Structure 1
Amino acid sequence: MADQPPAPAAPDASDDSLANVGLAFGLVCAAGASTMIGAGIAFLVKSTNHMFMAGALGLSAGVMLYVSFVEIFTTKAIDGFIEAGYPVNEAYQYGTLSFFGGMFITWILDLLCHGLIHLQAWFEEQIRERRAAKKAAALAG
């Protein structure tokens, strides 16, 4: 039994990883409560202004996207370039280029998808017109 490694020590209160647990838990609870209150208001109020609700939904989606993108941008991309050995200035440059490059690629893919949808609708319209023309020719002829 003397050959066993010692048990890991319990983290103390001064450990940085545990210092803000209460604050983090409180913020998560506040965010959940805010979501519940907002959903309750949306479903309980009968005379809903649809323009206001659309604007509020757009604003909340924008805030969530901003928070997510900033988290990805700062902690993942830039820290990844720094850990790969790039200087801090270059890491910010490459992280910024990667971020906006990804947005550009997403925009191009969005345009491509919309173009394919419109192309499909055009082909379907051409098929309907040809069938109608054949049917009219058969009835006339």
Structure 2
Amino acid sequence: MHSATLSRLLLACSLAFMPFSTDSWEITVSELEEKDVDEFSSSGLKCPTCFTLKERECSPELKWCPTNKIKCVEFSGVVNTGVKNIGIQLMKCVTLDQCKDTVTGFMGFTISNKSEICKSAIRSGARVKPPNPIFFVLFLEKLLH
């Protein structure tokens, strides 16, 4: 087979499978410098949040998610710097699109030995409990008399 024919065949195959491939995102400084969100400007959801490098223990803290972020990601891997491999661990709120994507890098370096899990964010415990039916009956009785 000619090399031109082979390259066309490879291109056609890669284009055919493109819809099935996943996008990627890279962990950058802006990803790590998210501002704290208070309960009233949040999505009403919380995620465990922490970031560590160099094999340190990640101690997650539950934090409110911004309105556009409704999922939690738990990610760990090894950053390949070319000189030394560095362990990384990240937990945070992410968008639904980021959950569908795969983390491929950290600050321009590739990541290997990855583990990435996306979960639903935790709902706030502040829910309004409906009144007990007995109060409704008493209220209805007062209304009718």
- TM-score calculated relative to the size of structure 1: 0.23
Structure possessing the higher relative contact order (Cα contacts under 8 Å, 6 or more residues apart): 2
TM-score norm. by structure 2 comes to 0.22
Of Structure 1 and Structure 2, the greater strand share is in: 2
Query: Which of these two proteins has the greater Rg computed from alpha carbons?
Result: 1
* Structure with more helix by fraction: 1
